[in-house]
Amino acid sequence: MTTPVHVVGIGLDGAEGLSPHVQRIVHQATLLVGSDRHLSYFPHHPAQRLPLGNFQAALNVIQEKLPPLDDSLSEHDSLSERSPQLSSGPLPNPSVIVFLVSGDPLFFGLGRLLLHHLPPEQLTFHPHLSSIQLAFNRIKQPWQEATLISLHGREMDALIPALKKGATPIALLTDNNHSPHAIAHLIQSLDITTRYHLWICENLGGNDERVRKFTIEDFIQQEPEFSFDPLNVVILIQ
């Protein structure tokens, strides 16, 4: 018995980082959905591919291809071999739709959106190590007391209460507008007594992984010398 949609977390180590069980699920997919980067990890996969540009457009395609809910959990829905279907209508049962995402789908990921639009009975989640998990393990710090904040598409103001409270450690998921540079300048601009060290962890799990530690003062003084890969996590520790 299986669900028709498998949400597979994947890291920068690509297909090699997946367990044999999850690799088998991906191998049996009739439809692969994901970003160009995620799809590139499976260059020879025969399934139909759906690049994830507009989420709603991709969701519409997935919904069209799903079997009726009563049939989606049928005992006949096994992971057997099948050919990719290129038609726009529902895939013939049994079918497996694999949605490739970064890290843990339910940790500031697309899993929440999928659960909002699709019945949970049609979804199975296969988490990978999240970038936050990797970051704390790289800097060898426990993180059960960490404050976790995603700055993706959010205002930097979301960070201010934690800084004023002196929270430590603070883990930040960044984006192009909320970069390590912007975070350091925000900390400098606030009248806080807590002195934070700035850990910047880039491309975690990839061949070009890099982890660096700075004081806020040294970072800002040397700022013109620094550049960072967009795939980075920032950890603030007293």
> What pLDDT shows up at residue 223?
79
Strands 232-237 and 170-173: antiparallel
Lookup: tokens for 177 = 């507008």
Give CA–CA dist 226/82, Å, rounded. Answer: 49
Fold classification of 132-237 (topology level): 3.30.950
Task: For the chain, give every residue range classified as CATH 3.30.950.10.
Answer: 132-237
| Cα-trace Rg, the chain | 21
Task: Indicate yes or no: pTM above 0.85.
Answer: no
Please tell me the distance from the alpha carbon of residue 83 to that of residue 85, in angstroms, as a whole number. Answer: 6
- Within 10 A of 170 (CB to CB), how many other CB atoms are there? 21
Residue 184 has pLDDT above 90, yes or no: yes
3-state class of 48 per DSSP? strand
Four-way CATH pick for 5-129: 3.40.1010.10, 2.60.120.560, 1.10.10.1100, 3.40.50.2300: 3.40.1010.10
User: Residue 209: pLDDT band by 50, 70, 90 thresholds?
Assistant: very high
Query: In whole numbers, what is the pLDDT of the chain averaged over residues?
Result: 88
Distance, in Å, from the CA atom of 196 to the CA atom of 168, rounded to the nearest integer, reads 9
The pLDDT of 156-182, averaged and rounded, is: 94
CA 15 to chain centroid:
15
User: Could you tell me the pLDDT band of residue 204, with boundaries at 50, 70 and 90?
Assistant: very high
Distance CA 93, CA 36 (A): 27
The confidence score (pLDDT) of residue 68 equals 76
Q: What is the pLDDT of residues 84-99, one digit of tens each?
A: 343 445 544 557 999 9
Confidence of residue 113 (pLDDT cuts 50, 70, 90): very high
- Domain boundaries for CATH 3.40.1010.10 within the chain: 5-129
pLDDT at 77: 42
pLDDT of residue 70: 60
Q: What pLDDT band is residue 13 in, cutting at 50, 70 and 90?
A: very high
**Is the pLDDT assigned to residue 78 strictly greater than 90?**
no
Helices (DSSP H) in 166-215: which residue ranges?
180-189
What pLDDT does residue 111 have?
Answer: 95
What number is the average pLDDT over the span 167-186?
94
Q: How far is CA 96 from CA 85, 220, 223, in A?
A: 11, 49, 48
Task: Give the distance, in angstroms, between the CA of residue 112 and the centroid of all CA atoms in the same chain.
Answer: 12
